[in-house]
Every structure is written in C-alpha cells, then in structure tokens.
Structure 1
Amino acid sequence: MSESAALELKLPPKVPGEKPGTGHMEEFNVNFARFLMRCNAECGELAEYNMAGQQTVLMSGPEAQEAFLKGLDKQLSRAAAYQAMVPVFGEGVIFDAPPERMKTQLKIQVDALRYQNMKSYAQVIAQEVEDWVAGWGDEGEMDFLDEFIRLTLHTACHCLLGADFRYKMTEEFKSLYHDLERGLQAIAFVDPYLQQPIFAARDKARARLQELISEIIAERRANADRQYGDALETFMSGTYKDGTHLSDNEITGLVIATMFAGHHTSSGTAAWTAVEFARNPEFTPEVLAEVQQVYAQGGELTFEALRELPKLERFIEEVLRLHPPLVLLMRRVIEDIDYKGTLIEAGKTVAISTYGSHRNPDYFPDPERFDPRRPQANTAQLMWAYIPFGGGPHKCAGNAFALMQLKSIFAALLPRYEFELVDAPESYQDDLSAMVLKPSSPCRLRYRRRQP
C-alpha cells in the first residue's frame, strides 16, 4: 500500500483505560476474555489495545473474523504472532521454520490425522475408556478435570506414540508435559524468553522430552520392518521436497504440537461436557437413546458409528460454543491492511476472540444459556461466528481428532453412569488463567451407575 493511500484511511478506535508502560496488560491478565468483550462493546468491529508496547487490533463479528481467518500468511503471519510456541515446539519446528518447511511439517501433521489413522485411533480411545472406568464401581465422586487430563494424555500418547510407549509411560513424562503447558501463560506472548522459573522449567522439559522420544525413534529405526499405525510412524516417514527426513528435534516438535492439538484442548472440553450433562440433565435422555441405539445395531462404537451421533455432536458443539478451548487467535500484520476504510498497519498484531464471538446475541440469542437445540452452529449463516477451532485454510488440524475423542468418551460413559454436581451450579466457572480454557479447579462431580 502506498504512503498516500494509507494517509487517506482512518485508524482503528483505541480502547480506553491504557496505563503508561504496560498499556492494557494488567486488565488483560486479570480476565482477558472479559477484557476483549469490553473492547468490542466499547469500540465496535475494530478495537486497538496495547500489550506492553505491542499494539493489537481486535477484529470482532463474522465479517471481520472471516477476513482474519482467510488471510494469507504473507499478509497475516501466524508464525510471527505465535513465537511463544517456539520454545515449546522447538527450534526449526512449525512457527520457527522457513515457510516451505513449515508448510511441509503441517502437511505431515495433517497426514497423521487422516481418515485411515482415525479409524484405528477410535479403537484405541475406546479401549482407554474401558480401562479407565474399570475400577469406578457403582458410585463415587471425583475431580473430573484431573481425571480427564489423565485420560486424554493417555489417549493422545497411545495414538501418537504407540502402545509400547503408552504402557511404559511414567509420571516423569506427565510432569514434563505439564511443565510445557505451564510455559504458555499470557506473558509468554509478550516475551517467551524472560528470566522466569516457569520458562526455565519449560525449556528443561522440552529437552528431556526430546531425549525420551529420540529413544523411541532409535528403537523403531532398529526395527524398520515393523508397522505401528500411529502418528509417530507418519512423522518418521515424512520427507521434505529434497527427500530428507525430519530430524529427531522436528519429530519431537510435531509430536508435542499434535498432542497440544489433541489433548491440550480436549481435557478441558471433556470436563465441561461432563459438567453440562450434570447441570442440564433434561438433555441427557435423547442423547443416551441415540447412543444406545447405535450400540444395539452394532455392538461397538467404531469410527463410522461415532459419525452417526448427531445429538451427542450437537451437545458437544454447544459446550464448545460456551467454553471454546482457544479463547484468542492471533496473527502479526506483515503488510498494511485496508479493512473497510480503516488502516491496520504492518507490525501490529490482529486478534479474534472466540469467547466473545460465541456470546454475540445477534447470532446466539440468550448467549449464556446452554441449549444444544439452538440452530446448528456449523451452518453457512454462522460459519464465521462459531469458530471454536478457527476456520479457513488454517483451521486447527486436531479438531477432527478432538471431536472423535470427545464422542468416544461420552458414548462409553453415558450408558453406564449418570452425573450430578457436587458443588453449587454457579461455582463451576471458566478458568481464564491460561490461554486454553478449562473449568476452574476442583471440578467435582458425583457419578452413579445407571439402573437397567
């Protein structure tokens, strides 16, 4: 865009309440989802706020969100916006890779989650759930956030790294993965290399995880004639255009990135799904009848059968509307943008809020009410308003795996158990302390075996 053309454009309205030096960082850290809703309410479709010197423009509403999600990397860069992920995924992996290598790595990641693999993953998840509930007994009480974190870590490891690793998995691996997750606090998106204890633990965990995964890779290379049918096999066989294979560091990074896509978001959503079944029991009978009908027809829930559960899927869609796992999506502006006569300058960050979008009463009437019978969210009319996994060419690669995992879990649980809240309904709140949404802890539910 020429300088003269840029001068003719207006600038985005600025969000009031900026403080010297830190801008809006303090308010953002207290409750960033509500802060973003204030930005939209006070400034409209575009709202510029200051994150300790990084000017960010929030784009709200389906039209603006469509422009964001359809933006090309050469204009709106994911890599530049997500440098906080580089120490987690590793140097030279995805957001730290040159564009062509990043494109190839993401394609290999998608290949690992294709239909053929998903069929075997469904069987793996079903078995993990069977093992999980085997010791429950007839009734009890648990913190289901902790339980789902444990379960989805097991299913993700089993699908990605294979049965051998899953059944040898130690508490060390779980602790290392937790340290990686803790390294994604909001401050990491300002500077992920600050001298902070959580960042030191993150870096130590990343190095140790590479050691553990490299041991598996070496063992598999020594047994090259064996087939595994998991994601690690796909990553090890993937190549760049010049025929070279991915390094151990790159494979480790893809494993971590795919685990984040398949586990990091699923555990919180699974916990919220259980809470919403307990908090809204009037919807359970129709979902349960649907699941029981599928069992009656085939005896087991295959990947194909899981695709024939529309009522369960609608219930999960409504959970994802009220509790979207990724609250904020970001891009860095590489070239000046003219958005409907407003200049968004290169160097700024642009962002969209799934949390705010899903609470827009123009598209979701009475938005705080949980209602899986509301008009289906994944329609053309709501395509750019309902965005739990983003959208466009960069939609989350793990969304199909996450949905399959959630349906597998609850298709197994609902015929066996009913759930009740332990604490007051209003005490179950979104935990907004990190960039991935989950229920506040403890998330206690009482379960009781269903009577025939």
Structure 2
Amino acid sequence: MDLTNIGIWVALVVIWIATVLAKMAMTRRMTRDHPVSNRPHPPVVSGFFLLNPLRVLLTKGVKAMTHEQHRALGSVFTLSFFGVNITFLVGPEVLDHFFQGSESEISHCNVFEFMVPILGKGVGFGADITTRTEQMRFHNDALKRPKIRNYIGAMLQEVEEYLAKWGQHGTVDIKHEMEQLVLLISSRCLLGKEIREKMLDEAHTLFRDLSGGMSLTSVLFPYAPTPTNRRRDAARAKLAKMFTEIVKSRRRGSSAGHHVQEDDVLQNLIDSKYKDGRPTTEAEVTGLIIMLLFGANNTSSVTSTWTGACLLSHGRWLAAAAEEQREIARRYGDRRRIDHDALLEMDTLHRCVKEALRMHPVIPVFFRKLLRGFTLRTKEGIEYEIPGGHHLASPALFNSRLPYVYRDPNVYDPDRFGPQRQEDKAGGRFSFTAFGGGRHSCVGEAYAYMQIKVIWSYLLRNFELKLVSPFPDTDWSKLVPSPKGNVMVSYKRVPA
C-alpha cells in the first residue's frame, strides 16, 4: 500500500470504519448488548486528548503509540474516534476472549470485507459462519502434518533446481530470491502441476493484479469502480476460468477411471466435501486456493528474508544453525537430501525462524469486531467490561516485545524458545501470536515452518553466506511489513 508508516494505515482504516457507520447502524442496534456487569469500562481517550496519540501514531507508528498509552493507562484502553471505539488489549493475560470467543460474540469478518471481491462470494469472509468453518476444515485437512510430509520432496526439488542456477560465488538480493523461491514452491504444492508447468508466468501476473485489491483505496472502498479494482476483478475472473478448467479436467479424468491422484493442496480441496455430502464447486476451490496463496506467499517469503537477515547478522546463531545441519547430514548420510523426519529434528533452525517471527511479525496488529460485551481481568487485577460494538485490537508487534514476558526483548535470542527457558509458554497461552491463536490460528503454520526450513537448511548446507548490506529497516508501506530495500548477501558454494 502507498503508505510510509503502518500508523497511517491504521488511522485511515479507522476513518474508513467511520464512513461505514451508517451501513453498520442496523447491525449495531441488533448487537448492542445490555450491560453484563457494573464493572467500569476501560479508560477512554477521546476528543482533544486524542490528538497526542494520533500524532504519535502518524509520526512514530503503532508500536510507539501503544507503548505510550500502555504506560499511561494500563493494558486495556480505548481510543474513541468519530464515534468508533477501538479497544487495545496489551499482554497475553487479556487475550483469551479475543482469540477464543465464538463467532457470535467476536468476529473479524467486517474488518476483511475488502477480501470478498478477491476470494469471491460464498468463500471465506464472503460466506456464512457455518460454511466458512467447514472451508477452514478443508484447509486444515490439506495442510495436516501427514499431508505436508508428501510435499517435502517437491519443496526440496524446487529449491535445488532454483539454487543450481547460482554460480560458484556471487552476490544476490536475498529478498528477491526468497520471493521467487516461495512462489515456485507455492505453485508446485498449492496451485498444482498444471499451473507450475504450463501457466506459471500468466498466473503470477494475474495474482499480482489481484494483489492490487490490497491497496489502500481497495481496502477502504472495495467496490468502487477504480482502475485498481477493475484490474483486480479482471484478474479474478481469468483466474477463476483457469482453475475451473483445471478442476473440471481432473474430475473428468477421475470419472473416466484413469485419474492419477495429484499430490498437491489443489487436489485436496477438489476432493473435499461438506458435512451434508456436497462437494466443493469450482468457484469455491478457486477462492480457497487464492486464500491459501495470499496467506502463504507474502508471509513465507518475508519471514524467510527476516530469518536470513537475523542469522547472518548474528555469528553465534549462524554457526549453531550450520553445525546443526552438518550433524543432521552426518546422521542421515546425505548432505544434500533431507526428508521430513530430518526437518523435524532441526530444533536450532526452528527456533531461529520463530525468533525472527517474534521480532518481525507479519501481522503487526490483529483486529476483531466485538458483537457481545464481556469482562476481563488485567495483569494488575483490574476488571473491565468491554461493551459490544467496540472494535478490538491486539498489537502483536508490541505484545511480542513485552519485557515481563521476553527477557531482553529487543535482542535476537532463539534460546528463549529452548527447553531451559520456553519464555513463550511461561508467559501465558497467547504470548506468541505470530500465527494468531485460538479459533482463528493460522492453519498453515506447520506448512510455513517446513517451507522456510527446507529453504534455509539447503542454503546452510551448501553455501557460505554473508550479509553485505546493513541490517534492513522495516518497510511499513506494505500490508505485510517486510525488510526495506535490497538485502544483499554474498555466497560461496561449498564443495560437494
């Protein structure tokens, strides 16, 4: 998005919420609940007193604003802006209902209405809760660990073939390399061999146009007849036609009795059935695969880049991760071929990825719409009633660096997740929310870790790497904050 600070994005989303208040008026009347107790509401910042947090938000970002208000008001506070109340929840102690509440009590659909034209009606955020829950089950089934085991070979093949194009030594922008690698892996494991082998360039172009639906104007006005929205809709229509033909072709082959079971997520979605026995439609498969690709592509490439930047900036951890690879290679007897079981043993690399996610979460702030009021107790023992109709915000960017949860939170230290410390578990259930949590936790968490570990285990085994550009700042102009600028890495191939 064309912004220079995530704070601006958040502020403009607030303004957008205000513009749709009229449309939400009926919903608000229907969901306005009666007080559930006589407990006080959280402290509210409004009117003239809102000027300072807005100034901090716009100039320094959501993390600085949250820090300032948290220090002044505690772990639960409300910003009231044009009649819209956004209640911030800071710390794992106050996040249970945020992540665990039922859809009838707390929802995030209104926040993601701009995704409906991208995914299609009847899919994801454009479906009723019963249908959406079943569709999430389809995703879950396709990305379960036993299924992921079958994708490892394809992931590794894509990595090997891509990195075979590198010379014996050289310098690359690792951010660009991660984007290309993850795209190839996603195309192979998610979209299917038809896309990977015949239509990858066309699909890539269409997905890029479809991503225009994540621009600021499209987020605020998803149905406005803007050039960006028209390109988004045209790309969506072409992708729907492409996948419809693939789904029909696979189903015809199955009906004719000479169907070869494909080993990809697309086939799993084609074979999925609702509880009443109804199979998924071509339109639903298209929307579900687009949803997965949006979730997998940007987040995995960004996390892969942050992982590399962090590893290559901390010699101790680079050495530890490389030694782990050598040990696993000795144990398995083949330095270049690593299977699913070996990936599960890469505890050091896993913790390095997890620590990169803690420090650079791909979703800086989680939002929900509260439909029914509830009470909570803060770390300090104060009880508040949160009224229905409020929007809730969980600032993961701030929560992941709370010093009473994470020791020296601004230091890259994967040991904090090791068996001796386990700071994320000691801090409470929702201390680590890089993949969300509770009812809406990311179904692709295991897949994402495996994909990133396949890439970096191969790099660590086969190359000597060095970060030659400064450690990157964060580019807050993207919906998924990413490393800013080029991330230049020199490489030297290790002899076989």
TM-score where L is the length of structure 1:
0.91
Q: Which amino acid aligns with 1:127?
A: Q
Q: 2:146 aligns with which of 116, 121, 124?
A: 116
Q: Which amino acid aligns with 1:400?
A: A
Alpha-carbon spacing, 1:30–1:201, altered in 2? closer, same or farther (3 Å): farther
Displacement of 1:9 in angstroms is: 3.4
Match of 2:137 in 1: 107
Match of 1:290 in 2: 324
Unaligned runs of 5+ in 1: none
Match of 1:134 in 2: 164
- Offset from partner CA, 1:144-177 (integer Å, 9 cap, x none): 2222111111111211122232122332321222
Q: Does 1:84 align with 2:114?
A: yes
Alpha-carbon spacing, 1:416–1:296, altered in 2? closer, same or farther (3 Å): same
Q: Does 1:168 align with 2:202?
A: no
Q: Which amino acid aligns with 2:403?
A: P
| C-alpha contact (below 8 Å) 2:115/2:213 kept by paired residues | no
Q: Which amino acid aligns with 1:286?
A: A
Displacement of 1:279 in angstroms is: 1.0
Q: 2:445 aligns with which of 394, 399, 409?
A: 399
- Structure 1 distance, partners of 2:206, 2:82, is 30
Q: Which amino acid aligns with 2:432?
A: Y
Match of 1:64 in 2: 94
| C-alpha contact (below 8 Å) 2:145/2:446 kept by paired residues | no
Q: Does 1:349 align with 2:379?
A: no
Q: Which amino acid aligns with 1:346?
A: G
- Offset from partner CA, 1:174-202 (integer Å, 9 cap, x none): 12222333422466555433454433333
Alpha-carbon spacing, 1:382–1:182, altered in 2? closer, same or farther (3 Å): farther
Alpha-carbon spacing, 1:60–1:424, altered in 2? closer, same or farther (3 Å): same
- Structure 2 distance, partners of 1:295, 1:179, is 42
What is the CA RMSD across the aligned residues, in angstroms? 2.7
TM-score where L is the length of structure 2:
0.83
| C-alpha contact (below 8 Å) 2:212/2:218 kept by paired residues | no
Q: Which amino acid aligns with 2:289?
A: V
Displacement of 1:42 in angstroms is: 3.7
- Structure 1 distance, partners of 2:49, 2:216, is 18
- Structure 2 distance, partners of 1:254, 1:79, is 16
Match of 1:329 in 2: 366
Q: Which amino acid aligns with 2:140?
A: V
- Structure 1 distance, partners of 2:59, 2:340, is 40
| C-alpha contact (below 8 Å) 1:327/1:355 kept by paired residues | yes
Displacement of 1:414 in angstroms is: 0.4
- Offset from partner CA, 1:203-255 (integer Å, 9 cap, x none): 33222221221121122122112210211111111122222212211111110
- Offset from partner CA, 1:381-403 (integer Å, 9 cap, x none): 34311111011232100111000
Q: How many residues align?
A: 449
| C-alpha contact (below 8 Å) 1:336/1:346 kept by paired residues | yes
Match of 2:248 in 1: 218
Q: Does 1:438 align with 2:482?
A: yes
- Offset from partner CA, 1:317-374 (integer Å, 9 cap, x none): 1111111111121211111222344232222211211111111111122222111122
| SS in structure 2 of the partner of residue 92 of structure 1 | coil
Alpha-carbon spacing, 1:18–1:222, altered in 2? closer, same or farther (3 Å): farther
Q: Does 1:366 align with 2:408?
A: yes
Displacement of 1:134 in angstroms is: 0.3
Match of 2:176 in 1: 146
| SS in structure 2 of the partner of residue 415 of structure 1 | helix
- Structure 2 distance, partners of 1:423, 1:42, is 38
- Structure 2 distance, partners of 1:415, 1:15, is 53
- Structure 2 distance, partners of 1:238, 1:210, is 18
Displacement of 1:59 in angstroms is: 0.7
- Structure 2 distance, partners of 1:189, 1:25, is 23
| SS in structure 2 of the partner of residue 218 of structure 1 | helix
- Structure 2 distance, partners of 1:195, 1:423, is 42
Alpha-carbon spacing, 1:222–1:306, altered in 2? closer, same or farther (3 Å): same
Displacement of 1:10 in angstroms is: 2.3
| SS in structure 1 of the partner of residue 461 of structure 2 | coil
| C-alpha contact (below 8 Å) 2:50/2:79 kept by paired residues | no
- Structure 2 distance, partners of 1:352, 1:88, is 25
Q: 2:432 aligns with which of 383, 386, 394?
A: 386
Q: Which amino acid aligns with 1:303?
A: H
- My pick for the range that moved more, 92-101 or 197-206, is 197-206
Identity percentage over the alignment? 29
Alpha-carbon spacing, 1:32–1:201, altered in 2? closer, same or farther (3 Å): farther
- Structure 2 distance, partners of 1:390, 1:189, is 21
| SS in structure 2 of the partner of residue 272 of structure 1 | helix
Q: Does 1:238 align with 2:272?
A: yes
Match of 1:449 in 2: 493
Aligned ranges for residues 265-304 of structure 1 at < 5 Å? 265-298=299-332, 299=334, 300-304=337-341
Match of 1:9 in 2: 39
| C-alpha contact (below 8 Å) 1:46/1:59 kept by paired residues | yes
- Structure 2 distance, partners of 1:238, 1:322, is 37
Displacement of 1:290 in angstroms is: 1.2
Unaligned runs of 5+ in 2: 1-30, 378-382
Match of 2:213 in 1: 183
Q: Which amino acid aligns with 1:335?
A: R
